[in-house]
Structure 1
Amino acid sequence: MARDPLLPALHTGVERLGLTLPEGAAEALITYLRLLERWNRAYNLSAIRDPGEMLHRHLLDSLSILPYVEGDSLLDVGSGAGLPGIPLALARPGLTVTLLDSNGKKQRFTRQVALELGLHRLRFAQERLAHYRPGQSFDTVVSRAFAALAGYVPEALRLCRPGGRVLAMKGRLPEEELAALPRSLRGCTLTALDVPGVAGQRHLLTWTAPAVSATEEANP
């Protein structure tokens, strides 16, 4: 099979991010991108049409938060076409990723990706965040430009294990959204991300879920 012309750009971008991918992950990421490109023509999964732009604004943007993913289970809220969840799952094979999205056509696409790429640790939930009751908590909960922080952070913390991380991927620093949060939730870690090939600001906002108190541990 011919080498995909986007592979060198992916390898360069991954190197610039300071990451190392497991064997075969780069090829799988490109296969995912090509599936997204093909399905996008009929299902309008992404406003970005150019594959080279997809590589930077979808794949590398998603991979840029890999160092901030905590533990072995991740919930991707408003996952859409599987971003950032699928690139993170490919970059960290031991990670169990649940894709939460209420859009049926996008869930059908991500299920097909899981089938074609053999992503056996990928899970799916077609539900709205406020109504989602999975019966488990997650080490990391993430959203990528999913919604205003006031509608996301409290619900994400509800689904995050004690001491786990809630991540929100944003472009420009969302000062108004932060101000709209309850005062107790305004304290978060702000990280400026430098994503290769992506112009403009990118930020990652991180909250740590409260640890279980000694009283709660004694009285489960």
Structure 2
Amino acid sequence: MSEREPLRQRLRSGLTALNLTLGDAVVEQLLDYVDLLLRWNTAYNLTAVRDAGEMVTRHLLDSLAILPYVEGRSLADLGTGAGLPGIPLALARPELEVCLVDSNGKKARFLREAVRQLHLAHARIVEARAESASGRYDCVTARAFATLADMLGWGGHLLADDGRWLALKGRFPQDELDNLPSGFVVEAVHRLAVPGLDAERHLVIIKRSGDGPAARKPS
């Protein structure tokens, strides 16, 4: 049995639990991404997770748990870090135009190499803070790097008029839900069951409300 086989089995088992069907080629690309993370992590400190099996659970499956909620043709992933959840989503949806936004130079260098090696033709990297990024996207993702109010304040200008903001959170963020900036409304909150992860996960879906000024790019 190859060294990769246990990881492959863990990933496939998790995908089954999430009711996701991905082809063999995509599964191998996802594991190639884990290999890249492992190789670059020593020098670049991309993630606190050091074990390949834990990366499958905490990075791949945790990211792919929101795949059923990704709609439209374009997605911006703010504060993407090592490419999470943006790269797993881009691998699962190769036709999706994905913009990976992060201001950290070392992480941006890793992202460029990952996009090149994984042949992500529709992914691009923006080395900048969220508030400096431009464009409009059908989906915007952010993986718990700030409060909902701060996320929307920094990146709300990137959300298309009929787009959906997909915010990944741990515990149910009631205080944050009560303090959304004007121009935005919570469409739904879904509790996510990530296979192998013994921790709370919630997905907050936010859309423009149309009853107030939405967050805009600062002048």
Question: Would you call these one fold, judging by a TM-score over 0.5?
Answer: yes
Matches within 5 A, 1:30-179: 30-132=31-133, 134=134, 136-179=135-178
Distance 1:84 1:61 in 2: 8
Secondary structure in 1 aligned to 2:94? coil
Deviations 1:16-53 (A, max 9, x none): 10011134000000010011011111111001111111
Deviations 1:188-211 (A, max 9, x none): 411000000111110000012357
Q: Which 10-residue stretch deviates more, 190-199 or 175-184?
A: 175-184
1:15 corresponds to: 16
For 1:199, give the aligned amino acid. Answer: D
1:163–1:210 CA contact under 8 A, matched in 2: no
Q: For this pair of structures, how many residues does the alignment match?
A: 209
2:185–2:207 CA contact under 8 A, matched in 1: no
For 2:191, give the aligned amino acid. Answer: A
1:4 corresponds to: 4
For 1:15, give the aligned amino acid. Answer: T
User: Does structure 1 residue 181 correspond to structure 2 residue 180?
Assistant: yes
Distance 1:158 1:183 in 2: 13
**Could you list the runs of 5+ residues in structure 2 that have no partner in the other structure?**
211-219
Distance 1:187 1:111 in 2: 33
The CA RMSD over aligned residues, in Å, is 1.7
Distance 1:183 1:98 in 2: 25
2:139–2:164 CA contact under 8 A, matched in 1: yes
Secondary structure in 2 aligned to 1:48? coil
Matches within 5 A, 1:193-208: 193-208=192-207
Shift in Å, 1:176: 2.3
For 1:165, give the aligned amino acid. Answer: R
Deviations 1:50-82 (A, max 9, x none): 111111010000000001011110000000000
Secondary structure in 1 aligned to 2:138? strand
Distance 1:68 1:195 in 2: 15
For 2:108, give the aligned amino acid. Answer: Q
**Could you list the runs of 5+ residues in structure 1 that have no partner in the other structure?**
212-220
TM-score (norm. length: structure 1): 0.89
